[in-house]
Structure 1
Amino acid sequence: MEKEITFLEELSSLIELKDSESIHQLMESLKTEDLIYAYNRLSKDEQVSLIGLLSPEDAAMLLERIPQNQAIEAIENAQIETAASILNELYSDDQVDILAELETEEAEAILEEMRPQEAENVRKLIQYDSESAGGLMVTEYLAYDSAMTVAQTVKDLQEKAEEYEDYHVQYIYVTSDNRFVGVLQMRDLLLSRPNTKLDTIAIKNAKTMLPNARLEELIGFFDKYDFFGVPVVSETEELLGIVLRKDLREAETERSNLELLETQGIVGGEELRSMPVWLRSKRRLSWLSVNIVLNIIAASVIAFYQDTLEEVIALAVFLPVISDMSGCSGNQAVAVSLRELSLGLVKPYELARVLWQEIKVGLINGLVLGLLIGLAAFIYMGNFYLGLVVGGALAINTIVAVSIGGTIPLFLKKMNTDPALASGPILTTVTDMLGFFLALTFAGAAMSYLV
């Protein structure tokens, strides 16, 4: 804690003094996690001042490390010239990710100030969907004509070493008239004779992707092949860019994180506590307010069976367990369906297949969980029939919960509704209502044995 306070205070002090050189030295000495922490703890004014004091290279390095919504905000708050100079230093995919989120006029103003070649490249890339190969690819790669020799290629690499220092140089991409020919490993380049043509040592028939290939297809590709990256080519085999494994995994993680937030009812994407309070509140309330109505509906079942509950007060102990355990089982099924939908492993029309798979799991888990809670009820009250009531209610509710949890995301997807956002509340309402209904109905039928 002492160290955190020290570097935070030091950074704030240097920003106040406008000491750019010392800020650079401090940032160089900090670990990535400390740098992110420090930036997040600065006031909004300090963040804006910091971006303005940093060199474009240092600012770009910072923006690559902080959460994307903070990077977008930093560019929005910077002067147009400053924003353009920073974006010039970012990788092409990061440039597009940020500019795509800005207002059209602001993005265009920044593009006008960027280096012409960088701006032209961004305009080409921004047309692609962010979750496609075109949207994820980088255009910073090394490509050489197939007619060049090893000696010519090595000479170019040496002469432009400073220009290429931020490139990913594990592979060289071989082209002919800008059409993709093959991939050349750096090892093969360095170990070949100087007069050898690249065409003769390149790996031909290498796997490629079209720019409209979806995230699910890319995930499947990298799961199958242990490649550093995959070339993206046009219909005419023109080399457009490279999708790197690390960028694909980042996109996959980002999607999973957003889906997790949506399943918890946080609408509108990533949330950080540094965001405005009203915005965070609005995102959460959009579903919490709906949940009030859904919970009132579930609670109405208890009100309807109030007399039964008054007669068998021990049920009040087990009703929350029945609803909660069934909800947990259902949420597990929701998570699996969301994951399989995102990976393209299941289609929305496969409801029957998914239902049957979940029923099998539900039967086993329902039986085990029902026996456990039934045993607990028997030990608690010494009444076999109470154990039978709560155990049977949980067993049946678990089967229903996993069946709904597994199929509702597919149904919602088929209805063009976001399954990550709506599955949780629907599942919770149904499992609560059914759990209460089953337990109280069974108790009413066995009343003479329970009192």
Structure 2
Amino acid sequence: MEANTSQEPSKVPEIETDEFEDWFEEFTHLVRSGRDEEIVQQLSGSHYADFAEVLHELEYDEAFYVFRLFQAERQSEVLVELDEDYQSEFMERLQPKEISTIFELLESDDITFILASVSPSKAEEVLKILDREDSQQIRVQMEFMENSAGRIMSSDFAAVYGTDTIRKAVSKIRKIAKVVDDIYTVYVVDQDGRLMGYLRLKELLLTNPSNKINKIMIGSPLSVHFNTDQEEVARMFRKYDLVSIAVVDDKDVMIGRITVDDVLDIVQEEASEDIYRMGGLSEDEKLNTPVFESLRKRILWLVVNLATAVLAASVVSLFEETIQKVVVLATLMPIVAGMGGNAGTQSITVVVRNLATGELTLNTWWEAVRKEISIGILNGLFLGILTSTMVYIFKGNLVLSFVIGSAMFVNLFIAGTIGSCIPLLLKILRIDPAIASSIFVTTFTDICGFFFFLGLAQYFLSYLN
């Protein structure tokens, strides 16, 4: 139960500032001293997102203690803003009745997301005590594919019939608004629930109350099927500047809606996921993930990297005698391989990003490949000349400078070509380009860089001694 206080509520200072550090130190002292009324006074005037950030700074026990001081309405706002680890921890500690009270204040998409982070037994325990209709809706929504429109939609939306008058529609929306938050768009459906069109609240307010909805609605509305991937949904919001979109089933019956705040969460989630995957990490890994669990998730890709490194080393072993005769080659060959790897990573980043945003498709692949090949050639010419000049200045050997300059040119050309082609090939094979591209490209550039550099050195060996 939220404590009462006659003092004015305070706001949480901006996080990552000196002011916040001082405030948080004082707040932590209040928590550890059990001064409940002062804790509530410190947080009651804050935005729920700031409230959640404060809880993230606390240990689980302390965070849950603070969370329990507030009423269900405040708890529901904050619970949605917490990260998955804290949501899961709190859900395991809360009693089913408490969870039921909180869930009555949330939309179906938020409930579905939160239940997905807890154990199946806990989720089932909670579903059993929810209202029967709500429980059935959540069960249906949890059956949809992960990361699909059906999984992230809210089943609460404002809809009227095309045959309704404006007066009747406004009366319906007033009732709907009591249970549905953020009504951006009013959808128009037929008697079977099939989506016909939509209209904005402004049109309802400015139109003659006796007019029919189907006379003023906007037809051919944008919608997504419940199996549409969430990344595609985000692309549609960005392309058409949407604030809300309808979700339909196989028969075009409207079953939910997705709003812009859901899409912002998707964009952040997908961006984080791509960054993790490009580093060979699981998107589920967090700072507080147990050490051995993190090890298990990372070790596979490190073993794959080890295998590719051994492959590159085997190429070097073919030229051991050449390296023994011209030891300076050992100091220069990492430059060629390293520059190829860096250039390849640049190409991967551009292609993977444009694939993710939809700006690059399999139908326009040649445009991206041609551009990256051109950049590879130009990079190769510039850096090849620059490297050969530097080697000549420091080593005084014209042939050695020619060898490294030529190898640099070839490897950067290969880096641009392979760096743009590998992500597209993986996309065709339905493998996430973000997670596998870098390994293949680095392997190619290492092998090709070592082979061309040492191969040319061996060919011109008599001029290098």
Partner of 2:8: none
Q: Do the aligned partners of 2:158 and 2:176 also contact (CA within 8 Å) in 1?
A: no
1:265 corresponds, among 270, 280, 283, to 280
Q: How many residues align?
A: 447
Segment of structure 1 superposing worse, 107-116 or 334-343? 334-343
Partner of 1:432: 446
**1:412-436 superposed Cα distances (whole Å, 9 cap, x missing partner):** 4555554433322232233223212
Unaligned runs of 5+ in 2: 1-16
2:161 corresponds, among 145, 169, 191, to 145
Judging changes above 3 Å, is the alpha-carbon distance between structure 1 residues 147 and 42 closer, same or farther for their aligned structure 2 residues?
Answer: same
1:40 aligned partner, one-letter code: H
**1:377-408 superposed Cα distances (whole Å, 9 cap, x missing partner):** 23333433222211211211122223332333
| SS of alignment partner, residue 289 of structure 2 | coil
Give the alignment's Cα RMSD to 1 decimal.
3.2
The CA distance in 2 between the partners of 1:106 and 1:372, in whole Å, is 63
Judging changes above 3 Å, is the alpha-carbon distance between structure 1 residues 210 and 161 closer, same or farther for their aligned structure 2 residues?
Answer: closer
Judging changes above 3 Å, is the alpha-carbon distance between structure 1 residues 434 and 447 closer, same or farther for their aligned structure 2 residues?
Answer: same
Matched, 1:117 2:133: yes
The CA distance in 2 between the partners of 1:381 and 1:182, in whole Å, is 74
The CA distance in 1 between the partners of 2:429 and 2:170, in whole Å, is 56
Q: CA deviation at 1:142?
A: 1.8
Partner of 1:241: 256
| SS of alignment partner, residue 420 of structure 1 | helix
User: What is the TM-score with the length of structure 2 in the denominator?
Assistant: 0.83
Partner of 1:129: 145
1:54 corresponds, among 47, 61, 70, to 70
Q: Do the aligned partners of 1:141 and 1:241 also contact (CA within 8 Å) in 2?
A: yes
Segment of structure 1 superposing worse, 432-441 or 277-286? 277-286
The CA distance in 1 between the partners of 2:71 and 2:294, in whole Å, is 32
2:265 corresponds, among 247, 250, 273, to 250
Partner of 1:421: 435
Q: CA deviation at 1:256?
A: 3.0
Q: CA deviation at 1:326?
A: 0.9
The CA distance in 2 between the partners of 1:128 and 1:121, in whole Å, is 11
1:309 corresponds, among 320, 323, 341, to 323
Judging changes above 3 Å, is the alpha-carbon distance between structure 1 residues 184 and 377 closer, same or farther for their aligned structure 2 residues?
Answer: same
User: What is the TM-score with the length of structure 1 in the denominator?
Assistant: 0.86
**1:28-77 superposed Cα distances (whole Å, 9 cap, x missing partner):** 44467754543233122223333433333323322332333443343234
Partner of 1:338: 352
Partner of 1:202: 217
Judging changes above 3 Å, is the alpha-carbon distance between structure 1 residues 383 and 85 closer, same or farther for their aligned structure 2 residues?
Answer: farther
**1:7-46 superposed Cα distances (whole Å, 9 cap, x missing partner):** 3334434444556654444334446775454323312222
Q: CA deviation at 1:327?
A: 0.9
| SS of alignment partner, residue 368 of structure 1 | helix
Q: Do the aligned partners of 2:376 and 2:417 also contact (CA within 8 Å) in 1?
A: yes
Judging changes above 3 Å, is the alpha-carbon distance between structure 1 residues 414 and 198 closer, same or farther for their aligned structure 2 residues?
Answer: closer
Partner of 1:369: 383
1:38 corresponds, among 54, 68, 82, to 54
Matched, 1:92 2:90: no
Partner of 2:402: 388
The CA distance in 1 between the partners of 2:342 and 2:441, in whole Å, is 10
Matched, 1:378 2:392: yes
Matched, 1:326 2:353: no
Q: CA deviation at 1:145?
A: 3.1
Q: CA deviation at 1:149?
A: 3.4
Matched, 1:7 2:28: no
1:226 corresponds, among 219, 223, 241, to 241
Partner of 2:293: 279
| SS of alignment partner, residue 12 of structure 1 | helix
Q: Do the aligned partners of 1:80 and 1:113 also contact (CA within 8 Å) in 2?
A: yes
| SS of alignment partner, residue 20 of structure 2 | helix
The CA distance in 1 between the partners of 2:379 and 2:212, in whole Å, is 63
Partner of 2:204: 189
The CA distance in 2 between the partners of 1:152 and 1:352, in whole Å, is 55
Q: CA deviation at 1:157?
A: 5.0
